[in-house]
Structure 1
Amino acid sequence: MIQKILSYIIPIKIFKKKSARSKTLEVTWANGELVLDSENTNYSYGSLQRILRYGLRNIGYGNILKMDHILLLGVAGGSVIKTLTDEVQYPGKITGVEIDPDIITIANQYFKLNEIKQLEVVIDDAFEFVLRTKDKYDLIIIDIFEDIKMPNFLFESFFSAHLCSLLKNRGYILFNTMILDEEHNVRNRKYIAEIDQKIFTTKMLPRIEDHNELIIIEKKL
């Protein structure tokens, strides 16, 4: 494909759509691969896939292969799902929660998300889903952005405590956060300090991208 080849020289935009939730969504050929972007940041594939792959490697592919059920809050184009199924070769169930149906339409059309048989996509608000679900999960991945903004509820102790309660023993939370200023640094440290250290271990991974910081929470028991 000529667009793919040319994308090693210059990014080639092939699709653009206005979304009520995400404002502008764009699909672009960049360095030989399709990526999904919002107006100001990468939503799927590209740098975001590298970031979440780094987090999954820190948890350990061997650990992930033993898991039964993974919950993803914030699906976008599904790059972390592709990492799980294609690279890790994870065989278990994946539930993806996405509030923006426009994104899922794009993900199905350009990234073939609907061809992943073990994936169930739920169009819902992540906050509401977490409060309602009766399932327990081995791994919960949080990757929720509205362009470059993160909803405040993600960092509230009420939500984080409820989210942690959904983990199975020895389960993990992988939380992708965006750091744009010192206030965000303070926010992340406060978030970690409020996690019950008797039941959970927490760590922040060294950044591999300037503005993304990964937090990993592991349930001890």
Structure 2
Amino acid sequence: MSLFSRLFPHAFIAILAVIFAIYFRLYEVFLVEEITDEGIVSLRGRSEQEIVEYLLKKKHKVVATPCSPTNSCFVVVDSYHFEDEALVVRRNLLHRGNSAYSLTGVELQPPPKITWRSADTRKWRVNKLVVDARYAKVMVAAGFFMESLDFDEGKHQEVLMAGLGGGVISNFFSQIDYLNISTIAVEIDPFIVNIAKQWFDNEETANLQIIRGDFIPFLGELQQETKRYDAIIVDVCHSDTRELICPIEEVRNEEVIRKLQAILSETGTLILNICAISNHEQNEEALLKEFDPFFNTCFLLKYLPNRRMLICSNRPNWSWEDNKERFLSNLEKVDDIFDFRLTSFFQ
């Protein structure tokens, strides 16, 4: 046996050991050390309280900056807060060209004990039962206070979603499977689907189906079926900065509105997210005027000082103004079960 043959296995093992040592050192540095204006900060050996204090002082961290093949770029940010005597970590998806508007936001589930080995919030799971953004809470709650969705566990119900975002709403519906709600979420951009999966734990379940495709032609297919939906949530937005971000123009087409009405059940509710950078009232009123002729009831529900959501129903005389006390009573039940804390905003 040659000298090379005798030494090669030992040399190979030594090289592997060096590679693994470098890898784990780099991983450890990335995990527990950060380069800041004050120099390199290490979390190694720090107590849980010290780590929490460090994160709170840091306030936020950019964890990813993904860009699509079409050069549409996003920023995934983890932010650190102290609420109810505990660390709360939220993750938001922002468009790089319009960072003032969060496309979606979730709350992360911290590990049982935070150590320097578990302090990397990139690896924390999403708490899918927590819905932070008020607009998302209203979009979920509307189906219930409008009595299109029911808390009866024995009743099968159907929800259709146009637009996925980070998946906060579809995630929530997937977790309340005790209510027997089947949800279909349609998203045209596979890049968004991948972001939702990688950074917001959005994935299909027994009661959540995610379809990658264009919602507009998909409506035509649904219209041919006998199935009707108890709630249709339309949250389709532009990714660039413009006066009206949500909804996209295609949703305002008369034929599209007609199809939305056709696949809505007799007691169903359509919920449309509206987001305008300026001329809020004019844009909201224009959408109301466009949708109102196709439904028995349409109204705008104010949930922020300068934000209203469009809600339509196939039921006559089913507006917030006509049924405020009844809907508030229903909303109190939603708050009790989901802990949304919405009722006080509408009283």
TM-score range (shorter-chain normalised) is 0.7 to 0.9
Superimposed CA distance per residue, residues 167-194 of structure 1 (whole angstroms, 9 cap, x where no aligned partner): 0110011100112222x53343233224
Q: Is contact 2:61-2:79 (8 Å) kept?
A: yes
**Residue 97 of structure 1 pairs with residue 193 of structure 2:** no
Aligned residue number for residue 36 of structure 1: 93
Aligned residue number for residue 59 of structure 2: 10
Superimposed CA distance per residue, residues 36-89 of structure 1 (whole angstroms, 9 cap, x where no aligned partner): 222212111259732121233244267523561111100011111233344695
Structure 1 stretch 5-14 or stretch 111-120: which is displaced more?
5-14
Which structure would you say has the larger Rg?
2
Deviation at 1:213, TM superposition (A): 2.6
Deviation beyond 6 Å, 4+ runs, structure 1 = none
Q: Is contact 1:95-1:120 (8 Å) kept?
A: yes
Q: How does 1:15-164 map to 2 (within 5 A)?
A: 15-20=64-69, 23-31=72-80, 32-39=89-96, 40=98, 41-45=101-105, 49-60=133-144, 63-65=148-150, 66=155, 68-86=157-175, 90-114=179-203, 116-133=205-222, 134=225, 135-147=227-239, 148=241, 149-150=245-246, 151-164=248-261
Q: Which has the higher contact order (CA 8 A, sep 6+)?
A: 1
In structure 1, runs of 5+ residues without a counterpart are: none
Question: 1:8–1:85: structure 2 CA closer, same or farther, 3 Å change rule?
Answer: farther
- Distance in 2 (alpha carbons) for counterparts of 1:22 and 1:130: 28
Structure 1 stretch 79-88 or stretch 113-122: which is displaced more?
79-88
Deviation at 1:5, TM superposition (A): 7.2
Superimposed CA distance per residue, residues 139-193 of structure 1 (whole angstroms, 9 cap, x where no aligned partner): 11011112243421112222111111110110011100112222x5334323322
Question: 1:60–1:19: structure 2 CA closer, same or farther, 3 Å change rule?
Answer: same
TM-score, normalization: structure 2?
0.55
Question: 1:101–1:3: structure 2 CA closer, same or farther, 3 Å change rule?
Answer: farther
- Give the total of aligned pairs: 219
Secondary structure of 1:160's counterpart equals helix
Question: 1:71–1:57: structure 2 CA closer, same or farther, 3 Å change rule?
Answer: same
Question: 1:67–1:9: structure 2 CA closer, same or farther, 3 Å change rule?
Answer: farther
Secondary structure of 1:19's counterpart equals coil
Q: Is contact 2:261-2:294 (8 Å) kept?
A: no
Question: 1:181–1:196: structure 2 CA closer, same or farther, 3 Å change rule?
Answer: closer
In structure 2, runs of 5+ residues without a counterpart are: 1-47, 81-88, 107-130, 317-347
**Percent identity of paired positions between Structure 1 and Structure 2:** 19
Supply the AA of the counterpart residue of 2:234: I
Supply the AA of the counterpart residue of 2:138: Y
Q: Is contact 2:219-2:259 (8 Å) kept?
A: yes
Question: 1:4–1:121: structure 2 CA closer, same or farther, 3 Å change rule?
Answer: farther
